[in-house]
Amino acid sequence: MMTSGTGTQDATVERAGELFLQNIQDGRRSGDAAAQPLRVLIVEDERALGMFLQKSMENEGHRVGWVGDGETAIEVVRAERPDLLVLDLSLPRRDGMEVLAELQEEVCSMAVLVLTGRSDVEERVRCLEMGADDCLLKPFSFYELAARCRALMRRRQAQVNPMLKCGGLAVNRMTRTVTMDGRVVALTGKEFSLLEFLLMRRGECVTRGELLEKVWQMSPTAGTNVVDVYINYLRRKLAGDNEGEDLIETVRGSGYRIQETNSVKTKAPKKPAARASEYLLRATAAAATGRQQSA
């Protein structure tokens, strides 16, 4: 375990930092391809804010580390390579700008969100030029921070692995195109985001509240049926001319689920009308034979 070895952090911050580093390492070990929690490092010297961000992002399902100075941040980034770096600019032992300058090579492979208390446009432009993906001015709402982190990570994950596949469904997150059994399915932006979210969590039941929060950025308790309406749009577009089992399963009283690839039943092709009547004739004839034999 790395020690942060700083004279400016108090003991509590140091212990907290170590504990959270452990969380990051645990996250890497328990890697699961489909819905992998993000490994986040928060660099923030204000203890109350650091702890709040750490707790809140953990509640979002991520593994979160937190350190309180620039020098430790550089060491931890090099050792742990987090997916997302949330970096305050005003820090003891090398400020955020120096951290960005020092980590030029590493920042290319991670998403970086800079936090700043100064409304200095030039400074923010410099951060973006140095590899930061986004800047957020303090004070900020946690919802805004979380939404921006999600947007950053969606972009990052889409670059690394753009294809999401499930049965006959193929979704390209870079080009935002969808095909079902080779047929192009045209989706609106919201329909695409909903399908992408369900696919990222495939195998799990995703509640309406969670979809409202994560796809629509609405309160999970908002009294609206927008989720159900969009699920119906999606089902109709994905099914096309085919009839049969839905890719999107309704979990009664709870939400929706897309099954893991190997358990999705492929849809039976629609039987032509002429063939259907043939089957009906044969079935009727068989039933008649059965009746004659049993008589």
Binding site for Ca ion (CB under 5 A): 45, 88, 90
Q: Would you say 47 or 150 has its CB closer to Ca ion?
A: 47
> Least distance in Å: CB of 74 to Ca ion?
16
Shortest Cβ contact with Ca ion: which residue?
Answer: 90
Q: Would you say 85 or 164 has its CB closer to Ca ion?
A: 85
Could you give the 3-state DSSP secondary structure of residue 40?
strand
> Least distance in Å: CB of 14 to Ca ion?
17
Neighbours of 12 (CB within 10 A): 11
Amino acid in position 234: L
> Least distance in Å: CB of 75 to Ca ion?
18
Q: Report whether 70 contacts 87 (CB < 8 A).
A: no
Among residues 235, 209, 236, the alpha carbon closest in space to that of 224 is found at 209
> Least distance in Å: CB of 47 to Ca ion?
10
3-state SS, one letter per residue, for 102-128? HCHHHHCCCEEEEEECCCCHHHHHHHH
Give me the helix-helix angle, 142-160 and 47-59, nearest 10°. 60
Enter the tokens of residue 99. 């951290």
Residue 179 forms beta bridges with which residues?
A: 170, 184
> Least distance in Å: CB of 82 to Ca ion?
19
What's the DSSP call for residue 94?
Answer: S
> Least distance in Å: CB of 45 to Ca ion?
5
Give start and end residues of each alpha helix (H) in 207-265: 208-214, 226-239
